[in-house]
Structure 1
Amino acid sequence: MSIATAMEDIEEEMTGDVQCSGCSSVLIEPYIRCFQCSENNVLICLHCFANGVEFDSHESNHSYNIIRNDFSLFENKWTAMEEINLLKAIEEHGYGNWKEISDQVKSKSGSECERHYNKHYIDNPVESLPEFTEPEISVHPAPIVYKLCEDPPRPAEGSSLFNDMGGYFAARGDFTIEYDNYCELDISQMDFLDDNDDDDGFCEEDKKMMLDLRYAAVEIYHTCLKERDRRKKIIRDYGLINMSKVFVANKRYDRTIRSLVDGLRCFCTLFTPMEYDLYLEALHYERELKQEIMKLKEYRKNGITKLRNIRLFKVLNKKREQMQAKRHLLSDLLTYVQDEDNCKSWLQRQAFIETMSKGVIVPLPTAPRKAPAPLDITGYPGYDKLSQDDKEICATIRLVPEAFMEFKKVLIKECQKLGCLKLAQARSLIKIDVNKTRKLYDHLISDGTINKDPL
């Protein structure tokens, strides 16, 4: 292939006439060319490629090539794109007009354009495009140098990941305890020599049977080794050791899909890695579609029928929520107006919120404590033994009848012993709430059951 022919092919794709096969937008490097749809020359922009756009016979899982012209052809400082711009500029402005050519190339000066064109297109023209050197491939396996990395996981000794790897030796690629860890013991003492003294007491048929048993034991051992390799391959291919990498990869999903992915991990061996990833992406895409449908339903419910009105709707909806918050404060005030203490507390709290930014300290009053509802003691043990006044005081201070009668008996006994009883003495005798003790003491004083100190 000559340089001119190659340049024409590259230029044809780089002109504005080449459009994306998915969205018909003008292609800008880098972009994607479908390898399996080469007959139809399917070219896709990065946006359509990232969204997995499919059309006609093209599917999102097809093989592809990345088209980019930032590599060098003749010199390291000149890319293929700059070569195209140089040839187009010379074609338009003519040879020798290096200032105009430099203005069109933009990235090179006039002297650089003149030197490069004379050197590679006039003085030393190349008949064919340069061949890119292939990387050297070693036929013989080389030892792998141990170094810290994530895949395969080789953490630093003593780190948290090193301690959580389940006995996995990163440098050796195996585990402390293998699958069927003691299968080597079955063949460790086995001997296949013909002059084995252990077989001297057997006939030929028995010797043949013993030999077959030994071969069967070796075959079982080989099967065990294959199973070990299979399990290690699964662990290596699916990253089951480096679980932190799996968790990081799953963070891109929302909580609903993430819990579903964790439940589906046990079935990943039934798919190829590509099929499993495609299945997870499909679930994620389904979730996004459902969320988008819910948003569209909300817009349609509010009378929005065109996409360009969504932005205005969001702004107005935000203002409406702010107004509702202010109205909520007014409704709170109306509920507190009926109670003088609560209204005073609410007003002082609002003053504190407004003056807090100015550095003014406003003391906040403690909210008045609501009295607890009376206790329904009907049916409790000892209820029938109480008088009507005793029942009311038990319900008010929320005491069961048996406890009330016990406390009453203790206070009466102490009063008879001392001749009178003080409130402080009553509180030392009854270890309950001091407010309940005061109400019980006042009730017994008013009832004449006990006497208080006349002084």
Structure 2
Amino acid sequence: TDLNFPKDTFDDSYLQESSEWSSAMGIYATELRCGNCLELLLAPYIECAACLPIIRLVNKRIKTTPVLVCLSCFVRGVQFDSHKNDHDFVVRRDNISVLDKDWTGCDELNLLDALRICGVGNWDAISNRLNCSKTALECKIHFFQYYVREKKKTVDSAPKEALPYVDSIEDPPRPLFQSPAYYDMAGYNAARADFEIEHDNNAELLLSDIESIYRHEDHDSDAKLYKELVSAVVGCYQSKILERQRRKKVMRMHGLICTKKSFLHFNRSRSYLPMQLVGLYPKLHQLLNFDQLSILIEGFKCETELRERQRTLKLYRHNGLTQICSATVFEELQESRNLQLREKRTMVIGGIARDPTMKKVSLPLNIVGRPGYEKLTEAERHLASEIRLMPRDLIRFKAMLMSACKKHNGLTLAHARVLIKIDVNKTRKIYDLLLSRNEISIK
């Protein structure tokens, strides 16, 4: 390469221009990062069409970069800075033809990278770096035709228009007339966005008695009274129309169209809510719309995660750890210790080998930080750890036994074992604990 292109005469400005042109067109994805997670972007990726470009100072030069989002953050609907997840967007990809119909944008980038590493003229090595998808002769012809001789550098097939944000593409529910789902939705037809029978359905009859032409003169006293009467009737009709719109808005904004999804979302986040808010969930739906309620639940979720993190840090501090880097060693040693305790059951105790027919003793389960741990009392935590039961399962079993006791005016152990399909010994311990605290009674 040095013999064919001496350093004092070889001009590689077209290589720099080509690289800058590819980066400017938004397809040189290896130099761009996601605005949220700061990961290197690999095409396809998303460019926001609503946010203003970011101005940066690079090598004493001002450069503007659009707000870019990787696919992982895009599908999760993340929001950062001024970017919102309902903005219009453009999909940037490199599988389109840029200069030649047989060469995609990804091939163009790989060719430029191979030229930068291998040098111009080493076409066999360049072809190998392209995974032999292009021969050495094809690489040479394409390079000299489009990057040396031809000066046309336009991208005709790249998408330029912004795609609108679509809130939902699911088909709205269409319950049958007088079916249970029809009554659950109060007769609301989501496909038409109106009720089968509107609020005050005969409100239009108010306007039927209004005459469009006044029969009295303007100076007549009855004409003025007639105008006031017409204005009052129209005002009444307008208030009824506004009430109809308000009821439709309540159906849309408070999650009443698909109630199953609303309660499914609630059940997934139930373990993060305080006990006093679990029974108030239907009332909260009346005060807050679905988005506001989701933000509230996410807030409780973040609080639970922070409490769990705080509890973990207190555990580290209690064991003498002062640096977070020592936590990894502590976790490994703790896991090794638990493994030794599990193996201890098979060791020789007091010079006598353990009888394999003897019942194995299970180690207590570590339930600290598990969902529902905060809702248990100290005795319930000890019981859940002893019988190796998750906190939320213990809460569910406790609610089942208390409900059955209230329904049948008492509860026997045999009936409790029928309700709870777990080990009978675990059921007896739960039953005895509730019985000792007078939360249930014997029938």
TM-score between the two structures when normalised by the length of structure 2: 0.51
- Shift of residue 206, structure 1, vs aligned partner: 2.7
Are 2:90 and 2:163, in contact at CA under 8 Å, matched by a contact in 1?
A: no
- Shift of residue 241, structure 1, vs aligned partner: 0.9
In structure 2, C-alpha distance between the alignment counterparts of 1:11 and 1:247, rounded to whole Å: 43
Q: Could you say if the C-alpha distance between residues 224 and 246 of structure 1 is closer, same or farther in structure 2, counting changes exceeding 3 Å? A: same
- Shift of residue 255, structure 1, vs aligned partner: 1.7
One-letter code aligned to 2:203: C
Q: Could you say if the C-alpha distance between residues 51 and 298 of structure 1 is closer, same or farther in structure 2, counting changes exceeding 3 Å? A: farther
The answer for the alignment partner of 1:213 in structure 2 is: 229
In structure 2, C-alpha distance between the alignment counterparts of 1:45 and 1:251, rounded to whole Å: 30
Matched, 1:29 2:42: yes
The answer for the alignment partner of 1:184 in structure 2 is: 204
Secondary structure of 1:172's partner? coil
- Shift of residue 294, structure 1, vs aligned partner: 1.6
- Shift of residue 72, structure 1, vs aligned partner: 2.0
One-letter code aligned to 2:228: D
In structure 1, C-alpha distance between the alignment counterparts of 2:117 and 2:272, rounded to whole Å: 59
Q: Could you say if the C-alpha distance between residues 218 and 235 of structure 1 is closer, same or farther in structure 2, counting changes exceeding 3 Å? A: same
In structure 2, C-alpha distance between the alignment counterparts of 1:65 and 1:220, rounded to whole Å: 44
Identify the structure with bigger relative contact order (alpha carbons < 8 Å, sequence gap 6+).
2
The answer for the alignment partner of 1:373 in structure 2 is: none
Q: In the TM superposition, what are the counterparts of 1:80-95 in structure 2 within 5 Å?
A: 80-95=105-120
In structure 1, C-alpha distance between the alignment counterparts of 2:312 and 2:121, rounded to whole Å: 61
The answer for the alignment partner of 1:99 in structure 2 is: 124
In structure 1, C-alpha distance between the alignment counterparts of 2:209 and 2:172, rounded to whole Å: 36
Q: Could you say if the C-alpha distance between residues 310 and 244 of structure 1 is closer, same or farther in structure 2, counting changes exceeding 3 Å? A: farther
Q: Deviations over 1:142-161 (max 9, x none)?
A: xxxxxx97454346889875
The answer for the alignment partner of 1:413 in structure 2 is: none
Matched, 1:132 2:173: no
In structure 1, C-alpha distance between the alignment counterparts of 2:272 and 2:123, rounded to whole Å: 62
Give the number of the structure whose residues are more often helix, by fraction.
Answer: 1
Superposed CA RMSD: 5.2
Q: Could you say if the C-alpha distance between residues 245 and 121 of structure 1 is closer, same or farther in structure 2, counting changes exceeding 3 Å? A: farther
Q: Could you say if the C-alpha distance between residues 313 and 244 of structure 1 is closer, same or farther in structure 2, counting changes exceeding 3 Å? A: farther
Specify which of 212, 216, 226 is matched with residue 242 of structure 2.
Answer: 226
Q: Deviations over 1:23-63 (max 9, x none)?
A: 8x762436788946712468888889979798xxx578698
The answer for the alignment partner of 1:247 in structure 2 is: 263
In structure 1, C-alpha distance between the alignment counterparts of 2:154 and 2:71, rounded to whole Å: 31
Larger Cα-atom Rg: 1
- Shift of residue 191, structure 1, vs aligned partner: 3.2
Q: Could you say if the C-alpha distance between residues 304 and 165 of structure 1 is closer, same or farther in structure 2, counting changes exceeding 3 Å? A: same
In structure 2, C-alpha distance between the alignment counterparts of 1:60 and 1:282, rounded to whole Å: 21
- Shift of residue 220, structure 1, vs aligned partner: 2.3
Secondary structure of 1:101's partner? helix
Secondary structure of 1:39's partner? strand
One-letter code aligned to 1:184: E
The answer for the alignment partner of 1:392 in structure 2 is: none
- Shift of residue 167, structure 1, vs aligned partner: 0.9
One-letter code aligned to 1:102: S
One-letter code aligned to 1:132: P
- Shift of residue 308, structure 1, vs aligned partner: 1.0
In structure 2, C-alpha distance between the alignment counterparts of 1:288 and 1:29, rounded to whole Å: 32
One-letter code aligned to 1:101: I
Specify which of 304, 307, 314 is matched with residue 327 of structure 2.
Answer: 307
The answer for the alignment partner of 1:297 in structure 2 is: 314
Q: Could you say if the C-alpha distance between residues 51 and 99 of structure 1 is closer, same or farther in structure 2, counting changes exceeding 3 Å? A: same
Matched, 1:72 2:83: no
Report percent identity of matched pairs.
28
One-letter code aligned to 2:152: V
Q: In the TM superposition, what are the counterparts of 1:154-169 in structure 2 within 5 Å?
A: 154=174, 161=181, 164-169=184-189
Are 1:167 and 1:177, in contact at CA under 8 Å, matched by a contact in 2?
A: yes
Secondary structure of 2:54's partner? coil
Secondary structure of 1:210's partner? helix
The 10-residue stretch of structure 1 (40-49 or 71-80) with the greater mean CA deviation from structure 2: 40-49
Are 1:89 and 1:104, in contact at CA under 8 Å, matched by a contact in 2?
A: yes
Q: Deviations over 1:166-199 (max 9, x none)?
A: 212233221123334442333344433445xxx9
Are 1:69 and 1:79, in contact at CA under 8 Å, matched by a contact in 2?
A: no
Q: Deviations over 1:46-98 (max 9, x none)?
A: 889979798xxx57869897885445242677553432221222344345644
In structure 1, C-alpha distance between the alignment counterparts of 2:339 and 2:149, rounded to whole Å: 72
Q: Could you say if the C-alpha distance between residues 267 and 158 of structure 1 is closer, same or farther in structure 2, counting changes exceeding 3 Å? A: closer
The answer for the alignment partner of 2:22 in structure 1 is: 7
- Shift of residue 290, structure 1, vs aligned partner: 0.9
The answer for the alignment partner of 2:372 in structure 1 is: none
Matched, 1:257 2:251: no
Q: In the TM superposition, what are the counterparts of 1:414-429 in structure 2 within 5 Å?
A: none
Are 2:172 and 2:190, in contact at CA under 8 Å, matched by a contact in 1?
A: yes
Are 1:36 and 1:64, in contact at CA under 8 Å, matched by a contact in 2?
A: no
Specify which of 266, 270, 275 is matched with residue 286 of structure 2.
Answer: 266
In structure 1, C-alpha distance between the alignment counterparts of 2:303 and 2:343, rounded to whole Å: 36
Q: Could you say if the C-alpha distance between residues 11 and 204 of structure 1 is closer, same or farther in structure 2, counting changes exceeding 3 Å? A: closer
In structure 2, C-alpha distance between the alignment counterparts of 1:120 and 1:155, rounded to whole Å: 60
One-letter code aligned to 2:113: K
In structure 2, C-alpha distance between the alignment counterparts of 1:70 and 1:158, rounded to whole Å: 53
Secondary structure of 2:238's partner? helix
Q: Could you say if the C-alpha distance between residues 297 and 155 of structure 1 is closer, same or farther in structure 2, counting changes exceeding 3 Å? A: farther
Are 1:3 and 1:128, in contact at CA under 8 Å, matched by a contact in 2?
A: no
Secondary structure of 2:301's partner? helix
Q: In the TM superposition, what are the counterparts of 1:386-405 in structure 2 within 5 Å?
A: none
Secondary structure of 2:40's partner? coil
The answer for the alignment partner of 1:449 in structure 2 is: none
In structure 2, C-alpha distance between the alignment counterparts of 1:96 and 1:237, rounded to whole Å: 65
Are 2:33 and 2:39, in contact at CA under 8 Å, matched by a contact in 1?
A: yes
Are 1:29 and 1:68, in contact at CA under 8 Å, matched by a contact in 2?
A: no
One-letter code aligned to 1:104: R
